[in-house]
Structures are given as structure tokens and as C-alpha cells.
Amino acid sequence: MTTILFCAGAFILCLAAANRSLRYGLLAVLAVGYGYGILRANFPDTWTYLTFDAAVLGLYCGQLWRPLTTEQRRRAYDLRLWLVVLIAWPTLLFFLFPSDSPLVELVGLRANVFLLPFLLLGTRLSDEDVGWLALGLAGLNLAAVAVGVLEFFVGIERFYPVNEVTDIIYRSKDLVGWTAHRIPATFSSAHAFAGTLVMTLPLLIGAWVQSSRAAGWQRRLIGLAIMASLLGVFMAAARTHMIAAALLVAVVTFSGQLRGDQWVRWVVAVGLVGYVVSGEERLQRFTTLGDTAFIAERWTGSVNEGFFDALRTYPLGNGLAGGGTSVPYFLRGNQSPLAMENEYARIGIEQGLPGLTLWVIFLAWVFLRWPARDKDGWALGRFLGWVACAVFFFTGLTGVGLLSSVPQTGLMLITIGWFVADPAASRAAVSSPAIRPAPRRQSIPAVARQSVEPTGNR
């Protein structure tokens, strides 16, 4: 009964928040996603597994059917067409080729389709919405990293019982000579923790570079959240996410968009994180990237001829969830043994060659659209979002779960929708009477305000 209440509560919370505004709805869903892993670990049940799905459904019910302004429709037009195609093909496979395990197929449909509308929601974000999201994510990151710090010092056993749900967490005991675990904080795995933190950095840094107009407490909160997020990535010890975080730091450092005391604060913050990492062996798993033989073996194991053999064997797919989609423990007896540790292989095996082709063309369309370098305040944030998403889709060649990680995937798809949308249209949409923000009492959106006020650069 308790787990049913979790599911119902998540739906009601996110529906109520989404009915108020898109920004509140997204923050509510992300908050549920941040606590989803530890909740599911301590209450292993089918209903708990569906808690995040219920939260997302509440968001969709509150937002997807709302009428759009002309500008919002124009910004989302191309992406809406892609969304229809990417959803239609796996849905068609689901109905045309039913399997003996319909529940497993539903899990596969969830992994291939359910979160894709976040792309559309990302196109609807105004600059002020992004400012609110950045501040909300700063609070969520600080809370998650605080739990992670406790786990680092007292152990994960007090937070995560040993059961089928936490198996992946307890198998990740590969630090300091196989004596310490990677830190999952409140997430379902260390990879989900690190991936979510990395995907928040474009919004946090994009807001922080505009912090001259923010209230003092907001500026300090966002700055502290950036430092905590970088430290959390190293606590999670996920190497690909460490690479992504380091690349974002390098882009910011050499972007030329930091001025005066802001540059000094950035250097000090990065230096402090580097100092902490250098003094703790458990935070230095990235040093194994120097083992070129291991990297070559990992790459060969993920990108090999078996992938092409599987496509030739299953040109129209092996069924949804038949190629590596994570299936909950209570359905694993019906899972297909055919799987590869490669997100594109998973898509190809499950959706066949047509589905893989659609995704490759879509990603080319997304990443060949270089983010506009407007003089609005979010130019750096958009570019960092482009970089982070590009890195994650590239590293999808050596791992799975990119399109089903909670809540990383939703945040990544929102970011894609945000930077793909025309920023000039975004500012026009903010000033449209149909979606004019409510009067501001205090200053969250101050980090975004400079992007909607007239300046001499326009």
C-alpha cells in the first residue's frame, strides 16, 4: 500500500506543479528523479519502480496539451516532426511484432519512447524559466552531494540495503584495490548520479556567468553547487562522466567569457576541487584512463563485428527490450540474452536498421546545428549543453542506458530542445502576453534578466 501511495503522490505532485507552470512541473519531476534511486532501493516493489513514470505522466498531463503561441509552435516545428517519427517507429514495432513477454516489451517501449517528449518541453523554456531551473537544480545537487559525502565517510550500507535493486551498486566496489564502492548518493547507480550532475553543469554555469545581476545568496548558492557537482562526479568515479566534466571545465576556462573577479572565483573553485581530488585516492579512478590496453579492449568489446551481425540477423529488430534495455529484476526471467554494451547497438537490435538510421540522422541534425552565439546571457550555457550532450552521445558507443537514466535522460533531452530552439524566438516568446511570466517577488530569474532587457548589443 505504501508504494502505491508513492506512485500516486508523485503523479499528483507533478500534475499540480505542471498546472502552475512548466518550470515548476520540470523541477517537481527532477526532484522525484533525484530521490527515485534510494526510494526504489529501500522499497523494492513494482509500484516504486513506476514512481518516476507516474511523475513524468503528471508533467505530460499538465503541460503537453496546453495551447502554444505562434512563436512557440515555430520554434518547435522541426523538432516536433522528428519527435513524431522517433516515437512512431518503435510504437509500430510494438503492435506489429508482439512477443511472448508483453510486459518486457512495455519496458522496452518505455525506454525507447516515454521520455522523448522532454525534447518538446525544452523548446518551450524561456530564459527566465532556465534561470529558475538552474537555481532549483543547484539546491537539488547540493542535497544529493551532501548525501553522497555521508556515504563516502560512513559507507553506502546505511542508505542502500542489499537486494536485487542494489546489485549494480554493490558490484561497483572497484576503488582503492577493490575495497571501496563508487558513490550513488540518492540515485539508482553511481553512473546515474554522475551523469545527472554533469548535465546540470551547463545550466548552473550559464546562470553563474550572469550572476552580477543575481541576489547575493543566489550567486553563492549556484557557485557552491558547481563546486559540489564537480566533486560529486569524482565521488561517483564514472570515468566517462569525469571526461565530460573536465571538458566542460576546459571550455569555460578558455571561453573568454569570464571577466575580472569572476575569473578569479572560477580559478579558485576549480583549484579547490582539484586539491580535494588530488588528496584522496578514492576520487582518482580517472587515472586508469592511462591504461591504453584497457581502453582499447573496452572499445573493441563495445564496437565490433557482433553489432553488424546482429543487424543482419534482425533487420527489423529483435523486439523492444531485446537488445540491452535494463529490465527490472521481477521481469528478468523473460529478458532476451542478446545484448551489447553499446547504446547504438541496443537501438539497432531493438528497433532494427530503420530505427537506428532515424536516430543517426536525428543526431546529425541536432549536432550540426551549432548553438547560436547571441549576445543574450545564455550563449555559454547553450554551448556547454551542446558539448555535454555531444559527449554523452559519443560515449554511448561504449555503454547503455543513455536514453533511460533517471533523471539524467530527461534533463539531457530538455537541454537538447533548449539549445536547438532559436534563441531569438525564445526572447520573443518571453515578451509575448500569452506566456508572460508572473510578477517577480525575488530574484531567481535575475540570472536570466539581462537576456530579456534591452541592451546596446542588440
* Structure confidence by residue, pLDDT tens digits, 315-371: 887 778 776 677 787 776 666 666 677 888 889 888 989 999 999 999 999 998 776
For the whole model, what pTM was predicted? 0.88
pLDDT attached to residue 97: 78
- Between 406 and 375, where is the model more confident? 406
**Angle between the 343-367 and 305-313 helix axes, to the nearest 10 degrees?**
100
- pLDDT of residue 246 exceeding 90, the answer is yes
Residue 52 above 80 pLDDT?
yes
110 versus 440: the higher-pLDDT residue is 110
Residue 457 has pLDDT above 50, yes or no: no
Q: What value does the mean pLDDT take over residues 19-39?
A: 96
- Asked if residue 417 has pLDDT above 70, the reply is yes
Which residue has better confidence, 447 or 403?
A: 403
Q: How much is the pLDDT for 296?
A: 66
Phi, psi of 116, rounded to the nearest 5 degrees: -60, -30
In terms of Cα–Cα distance, which of 387, 440, 344, 341 is closest to 126? 440
**Mean pLDDT over the full length of the chain:** 84
Preceding omega of 407 cis (within 30 degrees of 0): yes
Over 60: is that where the pLDDT of 441 sits? no
For the cut 70, the answer to whether the pLDDT of residue 442 exceeds it is: no
Q: For residues 411 and 76, which has the higher predicted lDDT (pLDDT)?
A: 411
Which pLDDT value is given to residue 305?
59
What is the per-residue pLDDT across 134-156, written as a single tens digit (0 to 9) for each? Answer: 999 999 999 999 999 999 999 99
Q: Give per-residue pLDDT as tens, 251-280.
A: 999 888 888 788 889 999 999 999 999 999
Q: pLDDT grade, residue 215 (50/70/90)?
A: low
Please write the tens of the pLDDT for every residue from 126-137.
Answer: 889 999 999 999
Beta bridge partners of 180: 175
Judge whether 234 and 272 are in contact, CB under 8 Å. no
Look at residue 406 in the predicted model and tell me its pLDDT.
93
362-392 pLDDT per residue, tens: 999 999 877 655 556 888 999 999 999 999 9
Amino acid making up residue 438:
A
What pLDDT does 232 receive? Answer: 96
